[in-house]
Structure 1
Amino acid sequence: MSLQPDDQFLEDQQSLPLSQASQLLTSFTQFLTICIHNILYYRSIYPTETFLTSRAYNLPVHQSRHPKVCSWIRDAVDAVKAQLILGVVERIAVVIYDGQARVMERWMFDVASFPAWKGFTEAKNIRMDEEDELDEEILGNIENAMEGKVNWADVDEQLRATVRKLAYAAEKLKQLPNGCTFTIAVELRDEGEAPIGHPQPWIPTQSNLQTKSKNRETAGQDVGGAKTTTLRAVEAGPLFFECWVEEGEAKEQHSSNTSRE
């Protein structure tokens, strides 16, 4: 299917030079890694003494010291990055379960509006027919326009504010039961293909966490949670995503039972 002129214009507006796309994607995956470690710390998934305190975005942040935990998170974020590059991810979730595999919380990152990572290449790589040549002045204008798409100071400030808001929200949430665990999940676009391969880093989620799609009329019962708290919408040039936390019905029941004891 060919693009109409308006659609082509919008696609170009979301595209980036490869150098900037790569740097922006790296910035986001580093941010995601920091958020995961902070969630594990503030939600007491592992003992506090197994974390060290460092700094990122000029803020104190927490990182697990356990080599296997760090390795698992690094591999998981790399797997997420591979799907982001393909442009098939709609949302990323850090899902926390209790000891009975019931959903307690889902920390959500909506990346459906991410820029196209496969966008513009450098202007010198643009293919042109002989009848449609661009002069050097136009090429220079294209390069200058692309270079101005990302304000890196703004990106860092937006990510800094989000890490701070996430930490604040995580501290204020009700305590989780002992023995909780976590995983990383991605919700794919309808047109996205399931990441199947060998070795297989991804497995399908349970039906209670399957989102609504063209092949599924209703979302799973734990999608959306019993309570949702907005964290922040990040908007810095071409980078736009939203964050929130969903608290599951099982957590609400646990909190009610605990308060009655």
Structure 2
Amino acid sequence: MSTAKAQLPSWTFAEVLSAFADFLIVSIHTILYEREIYPHETFMLARKYNFPVRQSRHPQVCDWVRNAIGACMDQMRRGDVSKVSVVILSSIDIPLERFVFDVTSFPKVALREQHNEMKNVTLNMTDMEEQYRTCIMKLSHTSSILGKLPPECTFTITIELNDDAKAPVGHDSPWVPADSVTQTPGVPLRSGAPRVRPLRNALMGPLSFDIWVEESKAKDKVVVH
């Protein structure tokens, strides 16, 4: 008696972006904790992707991050985004570090088709969560490789648009277009040529993405040893 092979679930592009938005939010909270943008005691221990993660307890921080990622997703739905970045700024707004999520390989799907099953794309939930878990694990160890930042650093979230994308006009959400940041690892940041540290290449077929962190030259002048 033959047994039919179990079929991997099909995903819609809307579902893929929703899962990726959740991942970005967890990643940002992890970065904020690891880089001590806010005191460690203001974070609570949670669990995501079967891995312990940190989440800010401050409602305004949580709302800001969620709203910023929501605005990023608006552009990703249009296929306009090549990179989403978390930029760590000094107390006088000099960029010190930039955590880059390169989504260049994500497919462009027409808005009217984003709730239809994606053709020729099957994702196993376990495999996808494993990729996300490994990324969070990498981000959770960045303090040991990046060293300590000076006091009173802040952060912002930026996006880089594809060359053929139209810049949004009159958008009232809390995101800003990337200002003189790199198109590829190693090209100068505004404050000087950065050191580039690859963190993870998440392999999910056409939904694969890369994460790396850049350290600006300005960081050498203000870093706490």
> Any gaps of 5 or more consecutive residues in structure 2?
1-9
**1:90 is matched with which residue?**
82
- Tell me the TM-score normalised to structure 2 length: 0.84
Amino acid at match of 1:165: K
Amino acid at match of 1:118: A
1:149 to 122, 129, 134: 122
Q: How far 1:236 sits from its partner (Å)?
A: 1.5
Contact kept, 8 Å, 2:89 with 2:95, in 1: the verdict is yes
1:212-251 deviation per Cα after TM superposition (whole angstroms, max 9, x unaligned): 6xxxxx965347x521110000111331110000011111
Contact kept, 8 Å, 1:38 with 1:167, in 2: the verdict is yes
Contact kept, 8 Å, 2:102 with 2:211, in 1: the verdict is yes
- CA distance in 2 between counterparts of 1:110 and 1:65 reads 28
Q: How far 1:181 sits from its partner (Å)?
A: 0.1
Amino acid at match of 1:251: K
**2:190 is matched with which residue?**
221
What is the DSSP-based 3-state SS (H/G/I as helix, E as strand, rest coil) of the residue aligned with 2:198? strand
**1:164 is matched with which residue?**
137
2:51 to 44, 59, 70: 59
1:45 to 15, 21, 37: 37
Q: What are the within-5 Å matches in structure 2 for residues 170-249 of structure 1?
A: 170-199=143-172, 201-206=174-179, 209-211=180-182, 220-222=189-191, 225-249=193-217
Two-structure CA RMSD over aligned residues (Å): 2.5
What is the DSSP-based 3-state SS (H/G/I as helix, E as strand, rest coil) of the residue aligned with 2:203? strand
Aligned length: 212
Q: How far 1:204 sits from its partner (Å)?
A: 4.4
Amino acid at match of 1:24: V
1:190-213 deviation per Cα after TM superposition (whole angstroms, max 9, x unaligned): 11111112535444454xx3456x
Q: Which has the higher helix share?
A: 1
Change (3 A) 1:181 1:116: same
Indicate the structure (1 or 2) with the bigger Cα radius of gyration.
Answer: 1
- CA distance in 2 between counterparts of 1:227 and 1:247 reads 5
Amino acid at match of 1:45: I
Q: Give the percent of matched residue pairs that are identical in Structure 1 and Structure 2.
A: 41
**2:4 is matched with which residue?**
none
- Tell me the TM-score normalised to structure 1 length: 0.73
Change (3 A) 1:187 1:31: same
Contact kept, 8 Å, 1:43 with 1:175, in 2: the verdict is yes
Amino acid at match of 2:22: Q
Amino acid at match of 1:235: L
